[in-house]
C-alpha cells in the first residue's frame, strides 16, 4: 500500500508540474498586454463597447497595427481585471505583436442602440455596419496608444459578415480584411435558406437563443433553450407545421415573426443581400471558406466574386479547405464524416493567414498567396489557381437515364422514374440522430442509408478508367412533375468507392457513397424567388438551380453517383406539397402525399453540368 501511495503521489506531482499550454498562454497575455475598455461614439451618438489589448512594448516607443473583430457574440470578458485567454486564432499573432480590439456590435451585449439582424447597407444614407466600423476605426487610430495607424479586420460567420461590411467605402487606415465564412444572403444560400428552402433545424436552434430580446446593454448571457430530446428528427416532426415554432420559444421572437411574414424574396430579404454593396473597398482581402460548411459556403464564394468584380486593382484571395464552419481554427481539418483528408489541413492554412496580415499590416515579405488556393478533396492536395472558378475548367454534362444510369449523352428513349413523397416520413439528411444540434459530418457522410429508401432516386456512372477532377459550381437542370402543386428537389453528387478496396478497413469503406455536394431547391421558386408559382399537376416542368462549388477528384475505379429526393429533414422543413401561399401558415391538413416524377431522354433531358480539369475521363 505504501508503494502505491508513493507512486500516486509522484504521479500527481508530475501532473501538477506538467506544462499547460493554454494556461501559459493566458498568463503571457496578462503579463504582456494592458487591457482597456472604451465606449466608442458612433456618428448618431450611440456608444459601442470595445475591449482593447495593447502590448506593453508601447511604453518603449514601439508601434503596432490594430486587429479588430466586431461581433454579436460578445467582446467578453468584461472588466479591466478580466482578460481573454487568447487574443487571436493562434499564439503566433500575440508573439508577433498586435493591438487587439473586440467590439460588441450595435444593440448587442454592452453596446447601445438597436440590433438588426443582417442590418441592410444604406450606402452612406444613414447609420449601418459600414459607418459604425468607419467611426470605430477613426476613434481607435486617434486614441489608442502605440498604434501604427494601420488596421486589419477578421471574423468567422456573423463576424465575417461585419468584416466585409466594414470594408465598404472603408476607412483609409483599414489595410487588410479577412471575412471568413461570411454571410451574404440569408434567403438564397446562407444559414436560414437554401434556394428559398427553409433551414428549419439551424434557424430554430440559432434563434431559440440568439433571438431573445435585450432591451438594455447587458453582459449576462441568455439561458440556452432546453430541448426535450436529442432526437432531432423526432423533435421537429412532432413540431408539426413550421409556424408552431413560435409557441416553443417561450418568448417574443421578433426576428422569427418578421421572417414568417416574408416567405418570399421580397424587399425585406433583398435589402439584406450584401453582394451589391461591396464597393469602394481598398483593403487587401482574404476570403476563407470550408467545402463542408453547411452554414455559410454560398457567402464566401459570392463575396469573393463580388469584391473582385466591383473593386478592380486590389489584392483579393480565396482560400477553401476541407472544413466545417470555422473548422480552419476549431479543428485539425484531417477528417470529416466518412472523408479522410490525409493531413492536418488547418495548420497549413493558419501560417498563410498570418503571413497575409504580416504583409499588409507590417510590410513584411509577400505572403505568396495565389488568387485562389483550394484543397482538392478526393486527391487530398492543395491547388493554386489565378482565380476561382479555375478559368481552364471545361463543362462536363451528366444525364440521368433509364435503369439508374448516369451518362455523358442524353438517352434517345424518353422515360421517367417516380416515387411517392410522404411528409409524414421525410427523408433524413443524416443517419445520425444522436444530437439535436445540426450535424457537421453530414456533408461528407456515407449516403447508403438514403440510397436504400424508395423515395430516393439513384443514378450511377460506370467505373472510371482515370481520375476525374471537377472544379467550380454544379448546375442542375431537372425535368420533373408532381401530382400536387408544390415540391422540393434535393440533388446530391456522390463519390462511390469500389466495392473492394486494397486497404484494411474495406468492410467499412468498400462501396461507400460519400457525399461531395448536396443542395435543395424549393420548387415554387423555380422561375423567381420573388414570385412563387405552383406546379400544374402531372405536367413536366423544368427546375434549374446551382449547387455550391466543389474541387474534388473522383479517383480511378470510383463511380459518380447522383441521388434525387424531395425531402431532407430536419435540415430543410417539410414541404406540404399542396399549395400554401405562406408556408409559415401551413396547417396539418395541408401536408399530403404526392407522386413525383423525374423525366429523361431527348425531350426532357435531366442533367448535371460539372466543370472538369483535364480530358474527358468518363467511359
Give the tens place of pLDDT for each residue, 226-245.
999 999 999 999 999 999 99
Query: Do 594 and 543 fall within a single domain?
Result: yes
Closest residue by Cα to residue 270 from 142, 493, 97, 121: 121
Residue 384 lies in a domain: no
Q: For residue 428, what is its C-alpha cell? A: 433524413
CA distances from 114 to 128, 306, 570 (A): 11, 29, 32
Q: How many Cβ atoms are within 10 Å of 380's Cβ, its own excluded? A: 15
Residue 147 lies in a domain: yes
Query: Do 372 and 472 fall within a single domain?
Result: no
Q: How many Cβ atoms are within 10 Å of 387's Cβ, its own excluded? A: 15
Residue 461 lies in a domain: yes
Closest residue by Cα to residue 605 from 401, 451, 428: 401
Residue 317 burial (C-beta neighbours within 10 Å; 0-12, 13-18, 19+): buried
pTM of the model: 0.94
Residue 428 lies in a domain: yes
Query: Do 430 and 356 fall within a single domain?
Result: no
**Contact indicator for 400, 459 with CB cutoff of 8 Å:** yes
The CATH number of the domain where 92 resides is what?
3.40.50.1820
Looking at residue 614, its pLDDT comes to 78
- Mean pLDDT per 10-residue run, the chain (619 residues)? 51 62 90 94 98 90 96 97 92 93 98 97 94 98 97 98 98 98 97 97 95 90 91 96 94 95 98 98 98 97 98 97 96 92 94 97 94 97 97 97 95 93 98 87 96 98 97 98 98 93 62 97 98 98 98 98 98 98 97 98 96 64
Task: Answer left, alpha or beta for residue 475, where phi above 0 means left and psi between -120 and 50 means alpha.
Answer: beta
Residue 212 lies in a domain: no
Where do we find the cell 423555380? 526
Closest residue by Cα to residue 574 from 427, 453, 430: 427
Residue 12 lies in a domain: no
21: which residues sit within 8 A by CB, 6+ positions away? none
Query: Do 352 and 401 fall within a single domain?
Result: no
Q: Report the DSSP pairing between strands 513-522 and 405-407.
A: unpaired
Closest residue by Cα to residue 13 from 25, 5, 22, 21: 5
Query: Do 55 and 150 fall within a single domain?
Result: yes
Q: For residue 531, what is its C-alpha cell? A: 414570385
**How many separate domains does the chain show?**
2
Phi, psi of 61 (to 5 degrees): 90, 5
Q: Cα angle vertex 52, ends 46, 54, to 5°?
A: 150
Query: Do 482 and 443 fall within a single domain?
Result: yes
Looking at residue 619, its pLDDT comes to 37
Residue 256 lies in a domain: no
Looking at residue 10, its pLDDT comes to 47
Dihedral angle over CA of 354, 357, 358, 359, nearest 10: 120
Looking at residue 618, its pLDDT comes to 38
Query: Do 551 and 461 fall within a single domain?
Result: yes
Residue 217 lies in a domain: no
The CATH number of the domain where 426 resides is what?
2.60.120.260
Separation CA 38–CA 617 (nearest Å)? 60
Task: Starting at the earlier edge strand, list the strands of the sheet with 47-55.
Answer: 33-41, 47-55, 99-104, 64-71, 147-156, 174-180, 284-290, 316-321, 372-376, 381-385
**Contact indicator for 291, 284 with CB cutoff of 8 Å:** no
**Contact indicator for 113, 132 with CB cutoff of 8 Å:** no
Query: Do 143 and 292 fall within a single domain?
Result: yes
CA distances from 147 to 86, 155, 325 (A): 20, 21, 32
**Contact indicator for 593, 422 with CB cutoff of 8 Å:** yes
Query: Do 463 and 409 fall within a single domain?
Result: yes
Query: Do 466 and 534 fall within a single domain?
Result: yes
Full domain range(s) for residue 461: 394-613
Query: Do 451 and 572 fall within a single domain?
Result: yes
Query: Do 361 and 435 fall within a single domain?
Result: no
DSSP string, 365-414: S-----SEEEEEBTTTEEEEESSSS-TT-EEEEEEEEGGGEEESS--SS-
SS3 498: coil
Amino acid at each position: 500500500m505504501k508503494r502505491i501511495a508513493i507512486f500516486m503521489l509522484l504521479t500527481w506531482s508530475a501532473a501538477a508540474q506538467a506544462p499547460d499550454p493554454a494556461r501559459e498562454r493566458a498568463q503571457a497575455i496578462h503579463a504582456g498586454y494592458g487591457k482597456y475598455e472604451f465606449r466608442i461614439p458612433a456618428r448618431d451618438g450611440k456608444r459601442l463597447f470595445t475591449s482593447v489589448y495593447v502590448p506593453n512594448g508601447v511604453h518603449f516607443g514601439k508601434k503596432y497595427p490594430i486587429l479588430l473583430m466586431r461581433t454579436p457574440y460578445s467582446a467578453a470578458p468584461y472588466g479591466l481585471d478580466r482578460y481573454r485567454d487568447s487574443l487571436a486564432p493562434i499564439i503566433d499573432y500575440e508573439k508577433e505583436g498586435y493591438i487587439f480590439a473586440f467590439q460588441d456590435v450595435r444593440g448587442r451585449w454592452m453596446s447601445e442602440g438597436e440590433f438588426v439582424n443582417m442590418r441592410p447597407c444604406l450606402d452612406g444614407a444613414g447609420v449601418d455596419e459600414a459607418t459604425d466600423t468607419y467611426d470605430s476605426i477613426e476613434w481607435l487610430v486617434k486614441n489608442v496608444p502605440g498604434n501604427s495607424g494601420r488596421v486589419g479586420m477578421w471574423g468567422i460567420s456573423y463576424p465575417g459578415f461585419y468584416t466585409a461590411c466594414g470594408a465598404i467605402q472603408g476607412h483609409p487606415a483599414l489595410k487588410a480584411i479577412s471575412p471568413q465564412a461570411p454571410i451574404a444572403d440569408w434567403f438564397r444560400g446562407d444559414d436560414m435558406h437554401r434556394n428559398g428552402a427553409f433551414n428549419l433545424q439551424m434557424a430554430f436552434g440559432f434563434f431559440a437563443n440568439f433571438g431573445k430580446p435585450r432591451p438594455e446593454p447587458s453582459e449576462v448571457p441568455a439561458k440556452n433553450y432546453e430541448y426535450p430530446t436529442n432526437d432531432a428528427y423526432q423533435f421537429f416532426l412532432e413540431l408539426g407545421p413550421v409556424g408552431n415554432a413560435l409557441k416553443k420559444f417561450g418568448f417574443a421572437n421578433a426576428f422569427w415573426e418578421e421572417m414568417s411574414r416574408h416567405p418570399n424574396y421580397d424587399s425585406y430579404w433583398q435589402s439584406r443581400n450584401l453582394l451589391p454593396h461591396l464597393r469602394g473597398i481598398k483593403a487587401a482581402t482574404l476570403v476563407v471558406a470550408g467545402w463542408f460548411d453547411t452554414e455559410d459556403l454560398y457567402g464566401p464564394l459570392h463575396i469573393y466574386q463580388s469584391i473582385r468584380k466591383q473593386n478592380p486593382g486590389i489584392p483579393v484571395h480565396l482560400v477553401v479547405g476541407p472544413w466545417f464552419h470555422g473548422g480552419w481554427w476549431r479543428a485539425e481539418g484531417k477528417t470529416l464524416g466518412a472523408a479522410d483528408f490525409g493531413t492536418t489541413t488547418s495548420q497549413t492554412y493558419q501560417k498563410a493567414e498570418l503571413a497575409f496580415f504580416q504583409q499588409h499590416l507590417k510590410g513584411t515579405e509577400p505572403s505568396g498567396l495565389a488568387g485562389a488556393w483550394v484543397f482538392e478533396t478526393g486527391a487530398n492536395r492543395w491547388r493554386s489557381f489565378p482565380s476561382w472558378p479555375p478559368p481552364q475548367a471545361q463543362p462536363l454534362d451528366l444525364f440521368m437515364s433509364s435503369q439508374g444510369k448516369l451518362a455523358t449523352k442524353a438517352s434517345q428513349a424518353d422515360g421517367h422514374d417516380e416515387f411517392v413523397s410522404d411528409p409524414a416520413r421525410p427523408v433524413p439528411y443524416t443517419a445520425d440522430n444522436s444530437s439535436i444540434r445540426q450535424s457537421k459530418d453530414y456533408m461528407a457522410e456515407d449516403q447508403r442509408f438514403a440510397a436504400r429508401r424508395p423515395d430516393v432516386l439513384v443514378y450511377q456512372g460506370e467505373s472510371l478508367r482515370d481520375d476525374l477532377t471537377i472544379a467550380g459550381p454544379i448546375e442542375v437542370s431537372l425535368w420533373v412533375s408532381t401530382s400536387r402543386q408544390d415540391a422540393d428537389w434535393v440533388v446530391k453528387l456522390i463519390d462511390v468507392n469500389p466495392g473492394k478496396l486494397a486497404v484494411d478497413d474495406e468492410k467499412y469503406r468498400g462501396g461507400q457513397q460519400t457525399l461531395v455536394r448536396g443542395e435543395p431547391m424549393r420548387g415554387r421558386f423555380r422561375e423567381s424567388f420573388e414570385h412563387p408559382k405552383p406546379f400544374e399537376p402531372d405536367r413536366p416542368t423544368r427546375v434549374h438551380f446551382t449547387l455550391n462549388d466543389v474541387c474534388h477528384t473522383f479517383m480511378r475505379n470510383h463511380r459518380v453517383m447522383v441521388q434525387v429526393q424531395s425531402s431532407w429533414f430536419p435540415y430543410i422543413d417539410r414541404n406540404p406539397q399542396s399549395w400554401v401561399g405562406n408556408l409559415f401558415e401551413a396547417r396539418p391538413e395541408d401536408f399530403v402525399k404526392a407522386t413525383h416524377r423525374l423525366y429523361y431522354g431527348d425531350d426532357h433531358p435531366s442533367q448535371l453540368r460539372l466543370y472538369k480539369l483535364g480530358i474527358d475521363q468518363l467511359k
